[in-house]
């Protein structure tokens, strides 16, 4: 059999002033045709899962395009159209394909297109046989829309946050699409979208309510009629009418799908207050980190997490560490291409003076005037080696390690979430040997850093991805929405 594959991922934070153009995709992932297979084979990504499972069946892969960018503001219409058209052209050239497998995010917005994934799926149905299956793997932070449900045969969400099961969901998608194409099953769905929009920090699936929900959803005695269950948290840092939680079950009959969705929704509604969370003010987080007898301590700068579309350039925690005279600390990462240019011009071992950070907007604190020594320079390319997307490549862009009164700041030319120790190692730093690590990541860092951290603190700094959602000027989400109202 023959399966078309494609990937188009962007988590759009439409509060961000940073537009997402084609160059943002080219900086991270932009692969066409057979390049996709070379790029993803052997990686723990969704597309890596598609490839292994399709080849394992002895089937043929028809690759179209794989594109992904760091979360940021609206995708430009030009970038959206170029990527979507390439996927659509790839599909129209193979009308005889048995099905389409897509790796999408589920919270993408483009200029003039509010539902990036729904719009793409609708267009796909215009060029592809409506009776053949289209199975989509989505991020756990997806806003699931009617268009997506209507035009996809099956939507499968990640089951973990940190997202360590992307590969498994890719494999599962192939297994299910093959059964659908063979006429063995015809999935029907039931969906509930309660007005709950939890902050990212409490959606960790390793503990708390989300862990219990998943345990129940995947219980061994789950009815055999259930084909797939997804518990989408939604993406809270976007002003979108479909923002919020989605409980989605597919089954071989509608009564089973409905019973399962109702059962899980009841638990979610009854226990939703467990999603409430109060992070620690910066000064208190730094005091607690200093006082901790065992190191390293991780301070998550969750409010400035580029993995949720923040500016990635707040230096507020760095300022506090400097104020306390700390010298055994590192901050990853600070997006500031101008400072990287200055450091590159100065060269390794030389001093520079710079105005560091807070250049994107006024929502991520104020810049910091520094006198630093350029400790290292790197091209910023690294391979993820932690449990999340292992084997895939990431790109910090040209990167400088600055030593500011002893504290090392990893300053980058691309926005990228600090979720893998390799981001330190390619710059010549060993994170396990640093006393206090400040990471711009809300939850994903846990996958690869939790085993070295003696303590983890979540700091409440300024930024677009703050835990306190009441700081965001929502206009279009459903109201009342828990926990905002």
Q: Which positions from 291 through 320 interact with Zn ion, judged by CB under 5 A?
A: none
Residue closer to Zn ion by CB (options 235, 424) is 235
Using alpha carbons, list the distances in angstroms from residue 24 to 98, 115, 304: 32, 20, 18
Least CB distance to Zn ion at residue 105 (A): 7
Dist CA 476 CA 238 (whole Å): 9
Question: Which range binds Zn ion by CB under 5 A, 25-33, 87-95, 133-141, 239-247?
Answer: 133-141
Least CB distance to Zn ion at residue 225 (A): 29
Residue closer to Zn ion by CB (options 160, 265) is 160
Residue closer to Zn ion by CB (options 166, 339) is 166
Residue closer to Zn ion by CB (options 141, 419) is 141
Q: Would you call the peptide bond into 480 cis, given omega within 30 degrees of 0 as the criterion?
A: yes
Q: Which two tokens stand for residue 354?
A: 């710079």
Select the residue interacting with Zn ion from 119, 141, 237, 240 (CB under 5 A).
141
Is 172 a binding residue for Zn ion by CB under 5 A? The answer is no
Least CB distance to Zn ion at residue 160 (A): 10
Residue closer to Zn ion by CB (options 200, 426) is 200
Dist CA 153 CA 186 (whole Å): 9
Least CB distance to Zn ion at residue 202 (A): 14
Dist CA 19 CA 452 (whole Å): 36
Q: How many CA atoms lie within 13 A of 348 on its CB side?
A: 9
Least CB distance to Zn ion at residue 239 (A): 18
Question: Which range binds Zn ion by CB under 5 A, 59-67, 131-139, 250-258, 473-481?
Answer: 131-139
* Dihedrals phi, psi of 385, to nearest 5 degrees: -120, -5
Least CB distance to Zn ion at residue 443 (A): 9
Least CB distance to Zn ion at residue 139 (A): 4
Least CB distance to Zn ion at residue 163 (A): 6
Is 165 a binding residue for Zn ion by CB under 5 A? The answer is no
Residue closer to Zn ion by CB (options 45, 86) is 45
Least CB distance to Zn ion at residue 162 (A): 9
Q: Residue 151: which of 167, 169, 128 has the closest Cα? A: 128
Select the residue interacting with Zn ion from 98, 115, 117, 139 (CB under 5 A).
139
**Coil, helix or strand for 447?**
helix
Provide DSSP, 50-119: HHHHHHHTT-EEEEEEEEE--SBSPBPHHHHHHHHHHHHHHHHT-TT-SEEEEEE-S---BTTBS-HHHH
Least CB distance to Zn ion at residue 148 (A): 16
Residue nearest to Zn ion (CB): 141
* Dihedrals phi, psi of 445, to nearest 5 degrees: -60, -25
Residue closer to Zn ion by CB (options 235, 250) is 235
Residue closer to Zn ion by CB (options 54, 196) is 196
Give the number of residues in contact with Zn ion, rule: CB under 5 A. Answer: 2
Phi-psi category of residue 7: left, alpha or beta, with phi > 0 → left and psi -120 to 50 → alpha: beta
Question: Which range binds Zn ion by CB under 5 A, 90-98, 134-142, 166-174, 267-275?
Answer: 134-142
**Residue 151 contacts by C-beta under 8 Å, 6 or more apart in sequence?**
118, 121, 122, 124, 125, 134
Residue closer to Zn ion by CB (options 141, 415) is 141
Dist CA 90 CA 384 (whole Å): 29
DSSP annotation of 466 reads -
CB 43 within 8 A of CB 32: no
Residue closer to Zn ion by CB (options 141, 147) is 141
Query: Applying CB under 5 A, which residues contact Zn ion?
Result: 139, 141
């Amino acid at each position: 059999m023959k399966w078309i594959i494609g990937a188009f991922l962007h988590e759009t934070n439409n509060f961000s002033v940073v537009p997402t153009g084609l160059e943002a995709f080219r900086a991270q992932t932009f692969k066409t045709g057979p390049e996709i297979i070379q790029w993803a084979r052997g990686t723990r990504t969704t597309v890596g899962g598609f490839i292994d499972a399709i080849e394992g069946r002895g089937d043929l892969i028809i690759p179209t395009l794989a594109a992904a960018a760091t979360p940021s503001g609206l995708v430009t219409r030009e970038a959206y159209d170029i990527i979507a058209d390439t996927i659509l052209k790839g599909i129209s050239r193979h009308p005889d394909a048995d099905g389409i497998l897509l790796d999408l995010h589920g919270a993408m917005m483009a200029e003039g297109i509010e539902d990036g994934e729904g719009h793409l799926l609708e267009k796909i149905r215009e060029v592809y046989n409506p009776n053949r299956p289209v199975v989509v793997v989505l991020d756990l932070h997806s806003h699931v829309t009617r268009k997506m449900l209507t035009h996809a045969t099956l939507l499968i969400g990640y089951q973990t946050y940190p997202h360590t099961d992307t590969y498994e969901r890719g494999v599962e998608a192939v297994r299910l699409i093959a059964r659908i194409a063979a006429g063995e099953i015809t999935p029907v769905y039931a969906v509930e979208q309660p007005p709950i929009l939890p902050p990212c920090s409490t959606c960790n699936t390793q503990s708390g309510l989300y862990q219990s929900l998943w345990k129940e959803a995947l219980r061994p005695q789950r009815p055999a009629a259930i084909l797939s269950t997804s518990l989408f948290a939604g993406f809270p840092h976007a002003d979108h009418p479909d923002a919020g939680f989605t409980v989605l079950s597919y089954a071989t009959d509608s009564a089973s799908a409905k019973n399962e969705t109702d059962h899980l929704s009841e638990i979610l509604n009854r226990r939703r207050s467990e999603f409430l969370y109060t992070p620690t003010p910066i000064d208190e987080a730094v005091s607690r980190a200093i006082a901790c007898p065992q190191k390293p301590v991780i301070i998550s700068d969750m409010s400035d997490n580029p993995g949720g579309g923040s500016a990635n350039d707040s230096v507020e925690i760095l300022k506090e560490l400097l104020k306390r005279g700390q010298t055994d600390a590192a901050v990853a990462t600070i997006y500031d291409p101008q400072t990287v240019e200055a450091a590159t011009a100065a060269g390794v071992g030389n001093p520079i003076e710079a105005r560091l950070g807070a250049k994107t907007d006024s929502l991520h604190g104020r810049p910091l005037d520094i006198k630093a020594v350029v400790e290292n320079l790197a091209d910023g390319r690294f391979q993820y080696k932690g449990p999340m997307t292992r084997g895939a490549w990431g790109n910090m862009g040209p990167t400088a390690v600055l030593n500011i009164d002893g504290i090392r700041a990893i300053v980058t030319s691309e926005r990228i979430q600090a979720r893998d120790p390799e981001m330190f190692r390619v710059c010549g730093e060993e994170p396990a040997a640093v006393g206090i690590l400040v990471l711009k990541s809300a939850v994903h860092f846990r996958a690869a850093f939790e085993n070295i951290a003696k303590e983890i603190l979540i700091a409440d700094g300024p930024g677009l991805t703050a835990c306190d959602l009441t700081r965001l000027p929502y206009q279009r989400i459903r109201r009342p929405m828990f926990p905002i109202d």
